[in-house]
Structure formats: C-alpha cells, structure tokens
Amino acid sequence: MVFRATFDCLWCGTPHAVRAPDDLEGYAQLCPACVGRAGENGFLRFRLKAALAERSAALAGQASVEPPPEPALGSAALAEDLSVEMQAYYAARAAEYDDWYLRRGRYSRGPVHDLAWNADLDAATLWLDGLPVRGEIVELAAGTGWWSTLLAGKGVLSIYDVNEAPLDRARERLLAHGLRAHIHVRDAWAEPDRLVDAVFCGFWLSHVPRRRLAEFLGLVRRWLRPGGTFAFIDSRPDPHSGAADQPVSAEEEVSSRRLADGREFRVVKVYWQPDELEAALRAAGFATAEVRTTSRFFLLGSARV
Ligand SMILES: C[S@@+](CC[C@H](N)C(=O)[O-])C[C@H]1O[C@@H](n2cnc3c(N)ncnc32)[C@H](O)[C@@H]1O
C-alpha cells in the first residue's frame, strides 16, 4: 500500500488531495466520506486497517523496512476481504469491462494477438451455442451480459450478479437485442432457491479460490434438475489475454488488476487445468464432465447431472 497525495477514491471514484503528508486517506486511497463509512463495509474496513498499519510503520521510521507478509490466502479473513475487493473492482470496471472482449484501448494487443483472440471468442460462442442448454437457465456472476443474449434465445433466462452496475449494462444489451431475462442482484454463493435445467458461468470459476472449488461445484449441482447442464467458459493464462500492464501468473492465486484510471485492486484468479476441473466436477456428483481449450485463451467446460 503506497501513500498517494492525490488519487481517485478506490470505492466511490471521487478525486481527493490529502492535506498532510501522513493523512490516513493517502494510505488507504479512500476519500474522507468513505473512510467515515468504513464500519459498514468490509472493503473499506480492510483498506483502513491496512492504511493504519502502513502509516504506523512509516511514522516509526520503518517505511523502508519490508512490509509484514500478507496472511496466507487460506485465511478466511483475507479471502473475505478479497471477495469484497473483487466486487468493488467489478463494480468500478463495469463501464470498461467490454473493452476486454472487444480488444479496445488498453486491451488491444496488436493485430496478430487480437485476431487470435477473436477467433477463440468465435470458437467459444459456437461451442456454447451447440450445447443442450434449454428450459430454465440461470447465469451466475453474469456481469455485463456478454453471453446473456445467446442464452436468452435458448430458454427462460435469469441473470444474477453481486453488482448492480454490470447488470445495468446487461439489461441494455438484452433490450437492444429485443430479448428478455430476469435480472437480479444475487451472490453466486447464495444457495439455490429452485431447480433449473441449466447453469452457466462466464469467467467466474477462475475467481473461485482453490479451497472453495468443491463447495462451489456442489452448489451448482444443487441448482440443477436431473439431466441438467452446467456450462462455463473461463480463462487460460495466455500473456496477451489482458491489458499490457496486467501480468498473468498461472502460479499465484491472487492477481492485481488496474482500471483505466489507475485504481488498483486484487482479485482471486485461478487458471484451472482441464483435467483438474473434470475430476472436481465428477467428485461434485456430475455424471459427465468435459473440459477442453480453445487454441490460446479459453477453457470451455460442460457437465451433465
Ligand atoms: C470476470 S466477470 C465475468 C462477467 C461475465 N460472466 C462474463 O463472462 O463476461 C466476474 C463477475 O462476477 C461478479 N461477482 C464478483 N463477486 C461475485 C459474487 N460473490 N457473486 C456474484 N457475482 C460476483 C462481478 O461483479 C463480475 O460481474
């Protein structure tokens, strides 16, 4: 956590300039209003706690000393903080999220890589279109609804996300295509409230921490009727998958993500291997499981109950 004299608040985006060189706001990169609300919000509380520790170290003349090691990701507290931080990241990124799909701005990686990206995206779309997804369909962590238009044409679709901002984009997208879906804020970890015929997740399994994969797949299994289908698309660790300033690490479970305005967040990002996902799906009670890859960028997985 570095001290910044001027910054855009990590939570609400308001520009702020500190009044003194040891202002807590400068360490937390939160505006005074958000610092004041830290008691009611896990992400703000986490930033404030870390800022207090950082400022104490700096004031004690220890600024140049190595910061204390972060607790292991296995720690429930850090996992909870990361989950809140990840939600904040995607809420703030909603307006620029589709730039990633469309290879716009920071996500444009040159004609050769972008061509390969588009070919893989086409392959993923054709693959999803060909799956036996029909009836009542639930899309978890649906984001801006990139895949929702395809799914909405196949059955009665409900799209859920923990953040309102990406769902607003999804609503606009569906309306523009003359399509309908039930759109609600809902945590992907919430217990199912009914049985459905298909569950889809785009780029969500990679945000499930390793230690919680079995738990999440069990939850998906509980959503599904006998004969139901679980389908997902996710990331492979290609170095040209994200923005140029966003290094890809297949070893680390926590990655750093930067927005166009420079704000930085940490997210869980696990690059699963097809065979480990297939084994985990079978262990979760799916009768069949098939996970394959596109040529460079994506994992394509489906499993039947
Ligand atoms: C990588 S994006 C994927 C969006 C979309 N599925 C797609 O394929 O383009 C991850 C999404 O997960 C959402 N999210 C983060 N934490 C969540 C949670 N606990 N429950 C539901 N959605 C969550 C974010 O708001 C974001 O829209």
Q: What is the pLDDT of residue 77?
A: 57
Give me the tens of pLDDT residue by residue for the chain, a chain 305 residues long.
778 888 887 888 788 888 888 888 888 888 888 888 787 777 777 787 888 888 887 877 754 444 444 444 455 556 666 899 999 999 999 999 999 999 999 999 999 999 999 999 999 999 999 999 999 999 999 999 999 999 999 999 999 999 999 999 999 999 999 999 999 999 999 999 999 999 999 999 999 999 999 999 999 999 999 999 999 999 999 999 999 888 788 778 999 899 999 899 999 999 999 999 999 999 999 999 999 999 999 999 999 99
Domain with CATH 3.40.50.150 in the chain: 103-304
Q: How far is CA 75 from CA 87, 146, 252, in A?
A: 19, 33, 15
Name residues contacting ligand 1 (CB within 6 A): 86-87, 90, 141-143, 146-147, 161-163, 166, 187-189, 202-204
Output the CA torsion sign for 41, 42, 43, 48: positive
Q: pTM for this structure?
A: 0.80
3-state secondary structure labels for all residues of 51-74 = HHHHHHHHHCCCCCCCCCCCCCCC
Q: Which of 158, 114, 112, 139 lies closest to 204, judged by CA?
A: 139
Instruction: Say if residues 3 and 26 touch (Cβ distance below 8 Å).
Output: yes
At 52, give phi and psi (nearest 5°): -60, -45
Which residues are registered as beta bridge partners of 289? 303
Say which DSSP state 94 is in: G
Alpha helices, H only, the chain = 24-28, 32-36, 42-59, 76-93, 97-102, 111-129, 148-152, 164-176, 213-223, 274-283
* Residue with CA closest to ligand 1 atom 16: 87
Which of 189, 190, 137, 185 lies closest to 160, judged by CA?
185
Best probe residue, ligand 1, of 207, 234, 267 (max atoms within 8 Å of C-beta)? 207
Looking at residue 65, its pLDDT comes to 44
pLDDT of residue 148: 98
Output the pLDDT for position 68. 44
pLDDT score, position 53? 80
* Atom of ligand 1 at shortest range from CA of 201: 6
Tell the CATH topology of 103-304: Rossmann fold (3.40.50)
Question: Which of 81, 82, 89, 90 maximizes ligand 1 atoms within 8 Å of its Cβ, making it the mutation to test the pocket?
Answer: 90
Contacts 24+ apart (CB under 8 A), 10-18: 10/34, 10/47, 10/88, 10/92, 10/263, 10/265, 11/41, 11/43, 11/44, 11/47, 11/88, 13/92, 13/261, 13/263
